A and B are shown apart, each in its own frame.
Chain A
Amino acid sequence: MQVTLRELATAAHGLLFGGFFLFAIFGVLVELVRSAHVKGASDLTARGCSLARVYMIATAGLGWAAVLLGAYAVYPWYRAIPPAGAADLSLYPQRLLLASATTSGWHSLGMEWKEHVAWFAPIVMTMAAYVVAKYQGSLRTHPQVKRGLILFTTTALLAAGVAGFFGAMLDKAAPIKGGGTITLMRSAK
């Protein structure tokens, strides 16, 4: 069972960091909406507060890991320029997509949107982590702040969803290939 370095980095970017980031944002949103509809006080214990803080920081961290790995490792492989006259474009995903009218939209709409909108989610979730950590004990006395957090977190979920959807579809249409091979498991045969 083998995988190339580029495939592994792409999987870490999209499946590990990006995927868990999406789940984590959804968790934040559910908790924010739930806590906005609680009767009376439902304060967390000190341990609960620190766990919530760790969760929020981990969520933002997953987002930054996803966008930084994507922008500085995976994206350069995606947009690599083939040598003049190259017939096989399988190592040049952007050029491969643009070479056909049936796939060029995945780049011109998908990648062009994803590469920018993806950054919104970690920016917003860093803000949310800060606000939750700072106002944890008194967030219920600031319902407008909570409303702002819900709006922004919903937008972050949509932005991360757009990035995740197009990332998955781009990887189906023109997967990132190449790089050194890593053997994960050897067959007994």
Chain B
Amino acid sequence: MTMATEQEVDHPLELAVALPNGSAGAAILSAGAGCFALGVLAVAGDASKSMAHWLTFYKPTGPLSGVSSTAILLWLALWLILGRLWRSKTVAIARVNALAFVLLLAGVLLTFPPFEDLLLRK
């Protein structure tokens, strides 16, 4: 599945109007993926003591410090990569939105304690 196609701009004056949507798509998709990563890391931190230990970047805050910092780093890295790849492209933004929103909702669900308990069979 290819989400990006080359954007053609015939006249420089049309640049402002025909600004490719690739940068917006990269920002939206990476935000969804970052939230999903946070949800996955939150579950991982609760699932095993060694993971919780590994995710403890700052002891007083506990595993939350590593969960949030790692998710933020992943979000920013993905944003940087997709932003560069899609900067001058027009992407299938409806599909990007849908995928990003599914990732965001999955992230919300993964952080919801009853769902997490169900997943970890606590």
Contact = CB atoms under 8 A, between A and B. Distances in A.
A159 interface: yes
Contacts of B96: 148
B50 to A, nearest CB: 20
Contacts of B30: 127
B47 interface: no
Contacts of A152: 28, 31-32, 100-101, 104
Please classify the interface of chain B as helix (H, G, I), strand (E, B), loop, or mixed, using the class held by over half of its residues.
Answer: helix
Nearest to B25: A145
B23 to A, nearest CB: 6
Task: Give the interface size bracket for A toward B.
Answer: 35 or more
Interface in A123-151: 123-124, 126-127, 130-131, 134-135, 137-138, 141-142, 144-145, 147-149, 151
B61 A159 contact: no
A71 B58 CA distance: 10
B65 A134 contact: no
A146 to B, nearest CB: 9
Contacts of A148: 24, 28, 93, 96-97, 100-101
A126 B25 CA distance: 14
Contact of A71 (B28, B39, B61, B93): B61
A113 interface: yes
Contacts of B1: none
Contacts of A151: 97, 101
B7 interface: no
A171 interface: no
Given A71-B68, A116-B67, A117-B111, A130 B27 contact: yes
12 contacts: A76-B60, A79-B62, A109-B113, A116-B39, A116-B68, A123-B75, A124-B31, A130-B27, A142-B21, A151-B97, A152-B101, A155-B108
